[in-house]
Structure 1
Amino acid sequence: MSAQGSPLSSWPPTLSDAQLASITLLATTYALSHGLVYLPVETVQPPAPISTIHAPLALFPSPFPRRLFQLAQRLQNTYNVLYARVATDDDFLDRVMGAVEGAGRVDEFTGQLWRRWQKVRDEGIVQPLHLGLFRSDYMLHSPGNGEPTSLKQVEFNTISSSFGTLSERSADLHRYLRKSTGYFGVSPYLTADNFPPNRTTAGLAEGLSEAHKAYGVPGACILFVVQDGERNVFDQRWLEYELLETHSIHVVRQSLTQLGQTAQVDPTTRVLRVASSSGPPVEISTVYFRAGYTPTDYPTAAQYDTRYALERSRAIQCPSIALQLAGGKKVQEVLTHPGVLEGFLCDVARWGEQALPQAAADELRASWMEMWGLDEDVDALGSGGAVQREGSGVRRARERAGALVLKPQREGGGNNVYKEAIPPFLDSLAVEERAAWIAMELIAVPEGMGSYLVRAGGGTDGAVRADVVSEVGIFGWALFGGADRAVREKEVGWLVRTKGKDSNEGGVAAGFSVLDSILLVDD
């Protein structure tokens, strides 16, 4: 990997000014022509869009070891099963994320969701099935101590796993640039067989259509719960078009605020119907959340109550509140505890013939960085394998702050605390709030990686060469919750987000990253 000439140690190839201007023009016009677009920043978005901008993008695909890409694809099948089982373990989620024992005691957002899930359970759940559209995010880990480059998980997303359809178009963009320019012959790695296929749109739509079929009412619609003023609307629209064109399923799009006025749950049958200005109320088979993952989506109690109303209906939730809670950072940390992962995957007494082999759990564990809860006293292995007491989780975080990130129970980017910001943050963190945070060892990304990054508005001079780090996400879906405890699941695609190396956060929608794709290399 670190051998002279490896693309993982020196990337991207150099372009002349004329080549850079030419390929930037080709890339931006292709993006605008093929729906790789955003709505522009506006104080108030008009009901009907009047303009678009291309999504932030990279001109070259990013090198990624073929063996690790194949590993990430294989791991997704195991992760699909793991999080399906976590989501259906009420006792575990109550203990880890609940408002009585777990993170929900001190994290109000988590507690609000958990209390409404508890209320639904008390009433009696009428729809046992859950749908998950998942994305597991990874970075390359190169500690530089003679160890080979490995694959390490950043996080697992169980709600609003976005950018699947735009990432497919980003991969298509790079394929087009190779075909149209040959990338001017600047690298022997830029060959067709090193550009992996990406058909995430069809894969995610398949998961939604399987839930729709399981609901059993062909004429029902799928509800997309969206944010007010959403700029990333086209990433959602491409999925909507795929559902209609391939599966003949209609989509209704509304925000939680709108649904507070339009959603009705039949008190007897628990059928969910949603009214719209264009026609009579329609029955909903599946509720797909592209909102609801952040407290700002719930500005008042009314939005939480609407979420509760949707949850108590017969419609299949994607995700259910339980599955959203399963994606919490605290769950990610608790799964690293000895035996917890194996209990969910490999316990024959618990899962019978559905138990997975120990090797499946070992592969997952190998993809994790060290992490712990700030509210814990932690035992760790010292030199020679002896167990040594390291004191409280907070003390350990202070001692190792320069190599850590602190994470709360949040999604969407911009929520974490890094490195030198950790000690003053810990000074300000109330003792009772520690249960809502975990500490995670930072991934040591490879040195020497760069890219040409293009954001809208720069014209042909808008490409900026920068040192970068890339994050690869693997998508999958899982339909589960029946009496037989079977998990129907599939790995369905991937994305790449690339950011400047000095940027700690990684969200495209949050403005930190650009959309990219993979260039497979052998190491």
Structure 2
Amino acid sequence: MPSPSDSFDFASWPPTLSNGQLEALTLYATTYALSHGLLYLAPAQRQPTIPSAAIHAPISLFPSPVPRALFDNGRRLQRIYNVLYARIAMDDEFLDEVMGAEKGVGKVDKFIGELWRGWKRLRDEGLPQPLHLGLFRSDYLLHSLPDKPLSIKQVEFNTISVSFGCLSQKVAELHRYLLSQTKYYYSSPYLSPSNFPSNETTPGLASGLAEAHKAYGDERSQILFVVQPGERNVFDQRPLEYELLERYGIHSIRNTFEELGNIAHVDPSTSALIITRSLDGSPSERIEISTVYYRSGYVPHEYPTPKHYTTRFLIESSKAIKCPTISLQLAGGKKVQEVLGRPGVLERFLADEAKYGKDVYGPEVISELRDSFMDMWSLDVNEDRVTPDRPSSESGNEEFGTRLAREGALGLVLKPQREGGGNNVYKESIPTFLDTLDPEERQAWIAMELIQPPKDFGNYLIRAGSTNSQSQTPVKTEVVSELGIFGWALFGGPEKSISEKEVGWLVRTKGKDSNEGGVATGFSVLDSLLLVD
């Protein structure tokens, strides 16, 4: 058995346990999860108003190893990403160029175009609230290439409805409990308390919401959670409400877009967002909203009618602080991620002394940030974007970017401007998919080189929700683990100041043969970190 001081061998994970030990660990893990709110509502065609059943969230039995230095690197980068995306969201000219419906992605992506046009109209009329709140998560995979040091590479940066902050804290606590209870049967010297980092994501994210509420300046106001109808992932959201109430005395309410279309209005004299509701026939209650926290609104099907867009724009037109504003949601687009990789773009936002004064970053920091990128390009990119390590291909009728995607399909993923999992196109599916896109539609897609995670790395995965007695049996499989780092930023105003923090982490683990990675969409399980050297 290797000592903890040796370079970690990912192929040695997870440690070997007997069937009896696995059974005992599974019982400890699942009962802990059920006892401590590591839960999902049970699958149902329609969730009842008052929940009648819950199941434990999908979980891993062991934490997943990540080198300590790379974890520290991700945490350090988060502070820079917080600033970067805040500055992008405040740069109307850049977003018009990249995401707009006149010049950018919004020309061919109807959803992006609708959001941009509504935002453009509102800002031309004058937005009453200059502050933005972002609750962020930057997602990474370990990148392992022969004869090169292990590194972390960014999968994406999330600016709306970042999920699993609360449940990620609970699963970290679950794995620490298993260590305390069983010592994991002394199966690995790496499984020691010093290698289990703390995770305080729930109070961390709540502190961002509380800062926005404080900045709004009315103690009687409340925070509005805009949620999906039939939401199963309520146990990842409710702890934030409890934290806000218990630590800060801030009340919250929850409503869907559908409900808000009937009960929300903006006071014409103050621009306050007002929710009017009545419970059980009691007199109407008038609630002023300080902060709007979106846990929905990031995919087109959540806007099935024009009224849903009207409701979104109504909220945007108020003086409530939005998390996120439409501009910050647009800043999280995959197209922005691709453009940031182009020469000089990071410097525009991080190194312009004339614009940002002393709050700039040096070449070493920008290089470190750029090192976290994988190579990306637009499908409609032309030959003038050819670089020395990306030679020109044969001439043809398709743009260079599309031809390059055909030639390198087995090492690529295509991404649209969507969140939530299940939207990407991978490897051998790419050439056939490209045949379905007309030249204009290609503008809405980017190609990204695939990250290469360590091979032969495994874990035991546990799912619930099936009547099959085998559903609680841990499945040992080769996996890929994705690390997410959370942060928040409150920014804007006349000085365009930025207050920001890094506030915790998430690990999601999936079978290696699964391309997608969402927990809510059924591809992954919740996991936690084991720091190794």
Name the TM-score, length of structure 1 as normaliser. 0.97
> How many Å apart are 1:246 and its aligned residue?
0.5
Any gaps of 5 or more consecutive residues in structure 2? 394-398
What letter is aligned with 1:406?
L
2:320 to 302, 315, 320: 315
1:408 aligns with 2:416: yes
> How many Å apart are 1:68 and its aligned residue?
0.2
- 1:122 maps to which residue? 124
- Structure-2 change in CA distance of 1:441 and 1:159 (3 Å): same
1:452 aligns with 2:460: yes
Q: Select between 373-382 and 422-431 the one with higher mean Cα deviation.
A: 373-382
- Structure-2 change in CA distance of 1:340 and 1:5 (3 Å): closer
8 Å CA contact retained: 2:421, 2:517: yes
Q: C-alpha distance in 1, partners of 2:92/2:334?
A: 17
- Structure-2 change in CA distance of 1:120 and 1:26 (3 Å): same
Could you list the per-position Cα deviations for residues 481-500 of structure 1 after superposition, in whole angstroms to 9, with x for gaps in the alignment? Answer: 11112110000000000000
Could you list the per-position Cα deviations for residues 265-320 of structure 1 after superposition, in whole angstroms to 9, with x for gaps in the alignment? Answer: 01121100112233502000000000000111111111111000000000000000
Could you list the per-position Cα deviations for residues 21-80 of structure 1 after superposition, in whole angstroms to 9, with x for gaps in the alignment? Answer: 110010000000000000011011100001100000000000000000000000000000
Q: C-alpha distance in 1, partners of 2:299/2:532?
A: 37
> How many Å apart are 1:5 and its aligned residue?
7.8
Q: Select between 276-285 and 74-83 the one with higher mean Cα deviation.
A: 276-285
1:235 aligns with 2:243: no
1:337 aligns with 2:342: yes
Q: C-alpha distance in 1, partners of 2:150/2:205?
A: 30
8 Å CA contact retained: 1:329, 1:407: yes
8 Å CA contact retained: 1:85, 1:344: yes
- 2:186 maps to which residue? 185
> How many Å apart are 1:123 and its aligned residue?
1.1
What letter is aligned with 1:392?
F
Q: C-alpha distance in 1, partners of 2:334/2:265?
A: 33
- 1:360 maps to which residue? 365
Q: C-alpha distance in 2, partners of 1:87/1:471?
A: 26
Q: C-alpha distance in 2, partners of 1:412/1:460?
A: 25
1:381 to 373, 383, 387: 387
- 2:137 maps to which residue? 135
Could you list the per-position Cα deviations for residues 303-356 of structure 1 after superposition, in whole angstroms to 9, with x for gaps in the alignment? Answer: 111000000000000000000000000000001110011110011122111222
Paired residue secondary structure (1:330): helix
1:303 aligns with 2:303: no
8 Å CA contact retained: 1:223, 1:251: yes
Q: Select between 456-465 and 403-412 the one with higher mean Cα deviation.
A: 456-465
What letter is aligned with 1:148?
P
Could you list the per-position Cα deviations for residues 376-420 of structure 1 after superposition, in whole angstroms to 9, with x for gaps in the alignment? Answer: 11534336xxx8434610000001000000000000000000000
1:25 to 24, 27, 33: 27
Paired residue secondary structure (1:213): helix
Q: C-alpha distance in 2, partners of 1:192/1:60?
A: 13
> How many Å apart are 1:122 and its aligned residue?
1.5
What letter is aligned with 1:327?
G
Q: C-alpha distance in 2, partners of 1:290/1:218?
A: 23
Could you list the per-position Cα deviations for residues 214-251 of structure 1 after superposition, in whole angstroms to 9, with x for gaps in the alignment? Answer: 00001100000000000001100011110110011000
- Structure-2 change in CA distance of 1:299 and 1:370 (3 Å): same
Paired residue secondary structure (1:406): strand
1:466 aligns with 2:467: no
1:508 to 519, 526, 530: 519
Q: C-alpha distance in 2, partners of 1:400/1:411?
A: 24
Q: C-alpha distance in 1, partners of 2:391/2:9?
A: 41
- 1:58 maps to which residue? 60
What letter is aligned with 1:259?
L
Q: C-alpha distance in 2, partners of 1:461/1:347?
A: 55
1:280 aligns with 2:285: yes
Q: C-alpha distance in 2, partners of 1:380/1:467?
A: 37
- 2:272 maps to which residue? 271
Question: 1:29-108, aligned counterparts within 5 Å?
Answer: 29-108=31-110
What letter is aligned with 1:255?
T
- 1:484 maps to which residue? 495
- 1:348 maps to which residue? 353
What letter is aligned with 1:191?
S
What letter is aligned with 1:141?
H
- 1:325 maps to which residue? 330
What letter is aligned with 2:446?
I
Q: C-alpha distance in 1, partners of 2:6/2:219?
A: 58
- 2:396 maps to which residue? none
8 Å CA contact retained: 2:137, 2:485: yes
Q: C-alpha distance in 2, partners of 1:460/1:502?
A: 20
8 Å CA contact retained: 1:139, 1:153: yes
8 Å CA contact retained: 2:463, 2:471: no
Q: C-alpha distance in 2, partners of 1:405/1:338?
A: 22
What letter is aligned with 2:367?
D
2:407 to 376, 395, 399: 399
8 Å CA contact retained: 1:217, 1:285: yes
Over the matched positions of the two proteins, sequence identity in percent amounts to 61
What letter is aligned with 1:75?
L
8 Å CA contact retained: 1:212, 1:222: yes
Paired residue secondary structure (1:292): coil
Any gaps of 5 or more consecutive residues in structure 1? none
Q: C-alpha distance in 1, partners of 2:267/2:507?
A: 43
What letter is aligned with 2:161?
S
1:497 aligns with 2:508: yes
- 1:167 maps to which residue? 168
- 2:212 maps to which residue? 211
> How many Å apart are 1:358 and its aligned residue?
2.2
Tell me the number of residue pairs that the alignment of Structure 1 and Structure 2 aligns: 517
What letter is aligned with 2:434?
L
8 Å CA contact retained: 2:109, 2:444: yes
> How many Å apart are 1:6 and its aligned residue?
2.8
Q: C-alpha distance in 2, partners of 1:22/1:62?
A: 20
8 Å CA contact retained: 2:377, 2:401: yes
- Structure-2 change in CA distance of 1:418 and 1:351 (3 Å): same
1:521 aligns with 2:529: no
8 Å CA contact retained: 2:38, 2:171: yes
- 1:148 maps to which residue? 149
8 Å CA contact retained: 1:83, 1:326: yes
Q: C-alpha distance in 1, partners of 2:307/2:475?
A: 45
Q: C-alpha distance in 2, partners of 1:189/1:169?
A: 21
8 Å CA contact retained: 1:418, 1:504: yes
Paired residue secondary structure (1:332): helix
2:376 to 354, 364, 371: 371
What letter is aligned with 2:491?
F
> How many Å apart are 1:460 and its aligned residue?
8.1
8 Å CA contact retained: 2:462, 2:472: no
Paired residue secondary structure (2:490): strand
Q: C-alpha distance in 2, partners of 1:25/1:52?
A: 17
